[in-house]
Structure 1
Amino acid sequence: MSESSHLFGSVADGYASFRPIYPDALFDWLVARVGRRRVALDIGAGNGQASRGLEGRFEQVIACDASEQQLRANQGWGTVMPVVCDAERLPIADSSVDLIIVAQALHWFATDAFFAETRRVLHPSGFFCAWCYGLVDVTPAINEVIRELYGVQLAGFWPAGRESVDRGYADIQPPFPRQPTPTLMLEAAWQLTDLLGYLRTWSAITRWQNRHGGDLIQVIEPKLRRAWGSETKQLVRWPLHFIAGYPNRI
């Protein structure tokens, strides 16, 4: 098992509970990019937060992840087919997929081998879209606490590849021309407990706790509570950044 699979497998339940939901506008835009709606493939699917947005829009939706624990965290896959596999070795027939998505995961496996595999499984008219989101945006006071956690207390604990998220995937050069993408963001109305649960899903938190023990989020919780103030809920946002195109278009 790769380190990333182990890290995210260990917080699978947290991912299922505390990761934000993608907007319908994203999936409407994706569907409009494809000529056929037979098979959609979600790579690095985790517990299926993006997969469920494709369900009903395609005849078949396949959700692949290297972590069996992540896939098992979803107790209601519905018609989506979960498959344990590596992103660079997909058990999918040649030219059979009409849409590939990679939600908040491309930075872990953006290799030449991966992009070659996507070209193999995509139909000649098939569309590829990967996206990421960086630090959550709440209020200036809360943002300051989160930035200190992210860049100071967790410095040196982020796995290689995370810097691509910080750059909005601008440093990843896919082997196909990029297509224009929409301006979208994730939004949620969260209580402080939701934010604390979300922060505990960070891969660097798992690495920090593996080395030091204890609960770093519990340590910073008083500071976050003071920054949160008296509001029961706060609006939290994450801007989305995309890589999209037609890998097999000539």
Structure 2
Amino acid sequence: MGDSVQLFSIRSEDYAQFRPTYPDSLFRWLAEQCAQPRCALDIAAGSGQATLPLLAHFDTVLACDASPDQLISGRTWQSAQRFAARAEQLPLRDGLADLIVVAQALHWFATPAFFSEATRALNPNGLFCAWCYSLLRIDPAVDAVIARLHGETLRGYWPQGRASVDAGYRDIQVPFETIEPPDFAIEALWNLPQLLGYLRTWSAVRQWQQAHGKDPVTQLEPELASLWGDPDRQRRVRWPLHFLAGYPGR
């Protein structure tokens, strides 16, 4: 866990700026699955991409992260209550949460100890929902360049657990019966500088840069620019979401 904390503490501001936002429909659906939407807990909250949308649907929203740097980033957290803690050691009373979410982070700590702790913190009818997204989709030509960066240039530089993300969490076994949420996806309209900024938030990009003393994204810029055309032109970007969800206490 320490390695993941270090990776995402270094560029918390960039991470918050360039990471895409989740669809509002996802958070409405999550609230609808809770008989009493009183308390939601976002574990490994990062800079709050999943925390803030929950505020519209729950009386109390808690944001937990092992990295204090993420929790004190420049983002306005509104009424969300933040605390630093390991996912496997939550300083919360039994049965407090009606909902626990883990957005793009379960692969760091998908252990029996964590699932036991999450079950303890959930009320008996509480919903657990983790999700992830892997490679974005724009168009076949741009997608091929990004896939080459991800799978060839950066091979061996991804942190442990990334394979689970690329597998859509299908390789993670959970100790409860899962449910299948509706099809949700992240969508955005981005220009080329926004795409490049996002690619530079990849943890493997930073690791490769440290090893080679240059930026692998900069090396791809001419090719991407040729495919993109006007760099200010906005294109639709899409990331399908993959879920592990269920009611551990039932």
What is the TM-score when the length of structure 1 is the normalising length?
Answer: 0.97
Amino acid at match of 1:101: V
Counterparts of 1:69 and 1:213 in 2: how far apart (Å)?
A: 25
> Which residue of the partner structure matches residue 239 of structure 1?
240
Question: How many aligned residue pairs are there?
Answer: 249
Amino acid at match of 2:126: G
Counterparts of 2:96 and 2:189 in 1: how far apart (Å)?
A: 39
Counterparts of 1:72 and 1:214 in 2: how far apart (Å)?
A: 29
> Which residue of the partner structure matches residue 118 of structure 1?
118
Amino acid at match of 2:146: I
Contact map agreement 1:42 1:50 (CA 8 A) in 2: yes
Q: Which moved more, 1:164-173 or 1:210-219?
A: 210-219
Counterparts of 1:112 and 1:241 in 2: how far apart (Å)?
A: 21
Contact map agreement 1:52 1:80 (CA 8 A) in 2: yes
1:24: Cα distance to partner?
A: 0.9
> Which residue of the partner structure matches residue 146 of structure 1?
146
Structure 2, unaligned runs of 5 or more: none
Counterparts of 2:213 and 2:229 in 1: how far apart (Å)?
A: 29
Counterparts of 2:178 and 2:152 in 1: how far apart (Å)?
A: 34
Counterparts of 1:120 and 1:26 in 2: how far apart (Å)?
A: 24
Amino acid at match of 2:245: A
Contact map agreement 1:48 1:74 (CA 8 A) in 2: no
Q: How does 1:185-200 map to 2 (within 5 A)?
A: 185-200=185-200
1:216 partnered with 2:226? no
> Which residue of the partner structure matches residue 178 of structure 2?
178
Contact map agreement 1:90 1:117 (CA 8 A) in 2: yes
Moved over 4 A (4+): none
What is the TM-score when the length of structure 2 is the normalising length?
Answer: 0.97
Helix, strand or coil at the partner of 1:130: strand
Contact map agreement 2:191 2:234 (CA 8 A) in 1: yes
> Which residue of the partner structure matches residue 88 of structure 1?
88
Amino acid at match of 1:47: S
Counterparts of 1:90 and 1:6 in 2: how far apart (Å)?
A: 20
> Which residue of the partner structure matches residue 33 of structure 1?
33
Q: How does 1:11-160 map to 2 (within 5 A)?
A: 11-160=11-160
1:230: Cα distance to partner?
A: 3.3
Contact map agreement 2:180 2:243 (CA 8 A) in 1: no
Deviations, residues 45-70 of structure 1 (Å, cap 9, x unaligned):
10001001100311110011111222
Deviations, residues 177-232 of structure 1 (Å, cap 9, x unaligned):
00121101100000111101100111111211222222221111111111212371
Contact map agreement 1:16 1:47 (CA 8 A) in 2: yes
Helix, strand or coil at the partner of 2:131: strand
CA separation of 1:78 and 1:24: change in aligned 2, threshold 3 A: same
Contact map agreement 2:37 2:98 (CA 8 A) in 1: yes
> Which residue of the partner structure matches residue 6 of structure 1?
6
Structure 1, unaligned runs of 5 or more: none
Counterparts of 1:226 and 1:143 in 2: how far apart (Å)?
A: 14
Identity rate, percent: 52
Counterparts of 1:99 and 1:38 in 2: how far apart (Å)?
A: 9
